[in-house]
């Protein structure tokens, strides 16, 4: 697919100042190394660069070729873009001889330009090719997967990733529909889902959950999130910050559980005579949870479901071979 930038599609970065504030880029930390796990259209990256010192460094990641094209326009020697998932950050850092980073920001989900561009296939409101890949240069499109997956596989994806109670009925409609003609457009898929979903919350399109589920599955978003969280934590320097913005319950649950696990120390056997001062210390502390303000939600309705969570590393793990 030959994608061309569409200038009129704008993206409003959610929790822009709050997320960058949480990275605590100040003092000596302003000359540290930071990662932007999802460059998108560069809102967070530009804000981070505005706070970095002359020796600071920012490495951003994105799978979307259009995001890469936007990032390549940033003429700043402190900045570098990597065309890959943040789940590969350990490899990218090792290649650059970086052992530790001072902050990692992950803004999950999809950007407004991706949703609003019919050619990407993310939107059930706009008719376009049923693609849904973040990276259009590799992987299997939504149309290709739906053409070959069996009914049980489709139902499981829609149920697990979309939390859709009509998953089996939708899967049956999809399998029956593709027997008549290939499901190659977003309009076709949305119509099939509408036939299977008889009730839905007021103001919510019947296809919302199915499109979310297929997109998450095609892009392996939750698997990459789990891997990325572990790698980010392992790469952080002492007092490094990990900040994550999620937009739906599946993402937020993974982030919340991961961070909670790092903020609790392993408990020793209560029968052992251990002094309080010798008790294990939690490797990290949680930062306050942040939600968008009423004003931000009013200005950008897509911010309404956002949740920002963060943690600060207290006890750093031994470095993994690279030299800073």
86 is in an annotated binding site: yes
278 is in an annotated binding site: no
42 is in an annotated binding site: yes
43 is in an annotated binding site: yes
**Closest among 142, 145, 136 to 2, alpha carbons compared:** 136
DSSP alpha helices (H): ranges in 16-148? 16-22, 43-51, 65-71, 89-95, 112-116, 142-148
> Residue 178: helix, strand or coil by DSSP?
helix
Torsion on CA atoms 68, 72, 77, 81, rounded to nearest 10: 10
44 is in an annotated binding site: yes
62 is in an annotated binding site: yes
Structure-token pair, residue 27: 């003092």
CB 100 within 8 A of CB 29: no
Place of tokens 């001072």: 102
| CB-based contacts of 222, cutoff 8 Å, min separation 6 | 161, 216, 250, 251, 254
Can you tell me the distance from the alpha carbon of 117 to that of 109, in angstroms, rounded to the nearest whole number? Answer: 15
Q: 131: burial class by Cβ within 10 Å (0-12, 13-18, 19+)? A: buried
36 is in an annotated binding site: no
DSSP designation for 267: P
Annotated binding site: 42-44, 62, 86, 107, 114
Annotated binding site for S-adenosyl-L-methionine: 42-44, 62, 86, 107, 114
């Amino acid at each position: 697919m030959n994608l061309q930038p569409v200038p009129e599609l704008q993206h409003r970065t959610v929790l822009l100042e709050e997320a960058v504030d949480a990275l605590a880029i100040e003092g000596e930390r302003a000359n540290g190394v930071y990662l932007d796990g999802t460059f998108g259209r560069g809102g967070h990256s530009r804000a981070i660069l505005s706070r970095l010192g002359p020796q600071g460094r920012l490495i951003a990641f994105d799978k979307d070729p259009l995001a890469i094209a936007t990032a390549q326009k940033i003429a700043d020697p402190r900045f570098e873009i990597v065309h890959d998932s943040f789940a590969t950050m350990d490899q990218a850092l090792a290649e650059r001889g970086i052992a530790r980073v001072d902050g990692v920001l992950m803004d999950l989900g999809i950007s407004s330009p991706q949703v609003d561009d019919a050619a990407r296939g993310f939107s059930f409101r706009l008719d376009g090719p049923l693609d849904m890949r973040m990276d259009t240069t590799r992987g299997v499109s939504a149309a290709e997967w739906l053409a070959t997956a069996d009914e049980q596989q489709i139902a499981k994806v829609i149920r697990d990733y979309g939390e859709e109670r009509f998953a089996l009925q939708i899967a049956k409609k999809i399998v029956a529909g593709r027997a008549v003609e290939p499901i190659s457009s977003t309009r076709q898929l949305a119509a099939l889902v509408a036939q299977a979903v008889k009730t839905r919350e007021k103001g919510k399109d019947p296809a919302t959950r199915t499109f979310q589920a297929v997109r998450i599955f095609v892009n392996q978003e939750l698997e990459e999130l789990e891997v990325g969280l572990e790698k980010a934590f392992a790469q952080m320097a002492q007092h490094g910050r990990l900040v994550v913005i999620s937009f739906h319950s599946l993402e937020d649950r993974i982030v919340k559980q991961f961070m909670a696990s790092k903020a609790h120390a392993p408990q020793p056997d209560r029968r052992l005579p251990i002094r309080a001062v010798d008790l294990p210390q939690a490797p990290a502390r949680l930062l306050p949870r942040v939600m968008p303000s009423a004003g931000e939600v009013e200005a950008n309705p897509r911010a309404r479901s956002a949740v920002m969570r963060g943690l600060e590393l207290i006890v750093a793990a031994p470095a993994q071979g690279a030299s800073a």
